[in-house]
Amino acid sequence: MMQAGALEGLRLVEAGQLIAGPFCGQLMADHGAEVIKIEPPGRGDPMRAWGQDKPVWWPIVARNKKCITLDLRQAKGQEIARKLIGRSDFFLENFRPGTVEKWGLGFDRLSVENPRLIMIRVSGFGQTGPYSPRAGYGSIGEAMGGLRYIVGEPGSRPSRVGISIGDSLAATFACLGALLALQHRHKTGTGQMIDSAIYEAVLAMMESTLPEYTEGGHVRERTGSILPKVAPSNIYATRDGEILIAANQDSVWRRLAEAMGRPELGEDPRYATHQARGERQVELDAMIDQWAVSWSSNELLSHLERHGIPAGKIYCAPDMLSDAHFKSREAVVKVEDRTFKNLWMQNVFPKLSSTPGRVRWSGPELGEHNEEIYGGILGMSTRELGALQEGGVV
């Protein structure tokens, strides 16, 4: 029998919108935490309307969450929020720094009422420093953190990577911070505040770009599909498409040379070492392109697999849905939803052997869990809840 998720028994109150905060909530809900998402009455999170053609982003980012409506700009709404947070393990927010303090929901006050509380804060530039009051979307954090500068083709404008990676990275680091704080709470009994800035989450991924400059004066530039001086590793045209081949390690290069029917190239001093191949990167790519184009993609992949060479197609959504490996590992799952009848999405990751997370339900309707949360956790009567609804508080 499947066991509950690893975070079952923990409660998180989520007050925020879009991606940078809510993705953290999604990660924790995926692994069993009770995540109660607060949304403005009548409007909800803007993510409810996001998606290509159809608003299918909401069912993913709000999956496994319980959704309530509450106006945090009203004093009564703030009072209710404090009561709910007082009965919770985590409070997650991604408003501009200083906003929740204006609402009486700052850590200094909440931690007095609930010393075990772990407060998770996601923002563009962090809670301190001269830029902290600025509005900061993921794109700005990606630019400031250095990612946008190196993404794209040489000579082109900096490019977006195609997903909201800055937001998601900040949310992932926020989740990591929350679990670190939870371990600290196990030892001390007290909570703490997590400060996850988008630009710093991006900066954390920037590999050796800083010491490349401080030690060698080198500023990493846009290089398109290659990593300079690391070869061969690129996208190569086949008869019916493109595949990525990564044979930049010495031993793998020798296997690729054999697969190409030219084993002598594996020991040729012009190509035998990492440094030598790096100097002849353009030459090597042209050689492999000329060879690969005579194969179909599937034939070439099978041939490379037999020789132990890392290679693969560049997948888009249809490829993922039809791939046998995805199916075997249940990397994508079909989820029941009131609105969308063919709703497939990525599954819960990482996979835990004893307490695997799972998608229990897709993003709820606006205020779907009002009665359960306000009545069950806070003990409100139907009459009290009705009065709050009439006053626009919930």
Determine whether 167 is an active site residue: yes
Distance from chain centroid for Cα 31: 15
Burial of 286: CB neighbours in 10 Å, binned 0-12, 13-18, 19+: exposed
Q: What is the phi-psi region of residue 242: left when phi exceeds 0, alpha when psi lies from -120 to 50, beta otherwise?
A: beta
Q: Strand, helix or coil at 265?
A: helix
* Residues forming a β-bridge with 43: none
Distances (CA, A) of 278 to 202, 217, 225, 269, 309: 27, 20, 15, 12, 18
Residue with tokens 């809510």: 22
Q: Name the packing angle between helices 250-259 and 297-306 (round to 10°).
A: 120
Tokens of 382: 């139907």
Distances (CA, A) of 306 to 8, 303, 312: 44, 5, 13
Q: What is the phi-psi region of residue 98: left when phi exceeds 0, alpha when psi lies from -120 to 50, beta otherwise?
A: left
Collect all residues with Cβ–Cβ distance below 8 Å to 24 and sequence separation of at least 6: 92, 120, 122, 171, 172, 174, 175, 178, 196
Catalytic residue, candidates 167, 285, 319, 323: 167
- Amino acid, single-letter form, for residue 20: A
- Taking the CA atoms of residue 31, residue 345, residue 36 and residue 39 in that order, the dihedral angle to the nearest 10 degrees is 160
Across 116-148, b (16+ Cβ under 10 Å) vs e yields: ebbbbbbbbbbeeeebbeeebbbbbbbbbbbbb
Which is nearest to 158 in space by CA: 176, 169, 144?
144
Collect all residues with Cβ–Cβ distance below 8 Å to 342 and sequence separation of at least 6: 334
Q: Say how far apart CA 247 and CA 223 lie, in whole Å.
A: 18
Point out the residues that are catalytic.
Answer: 167
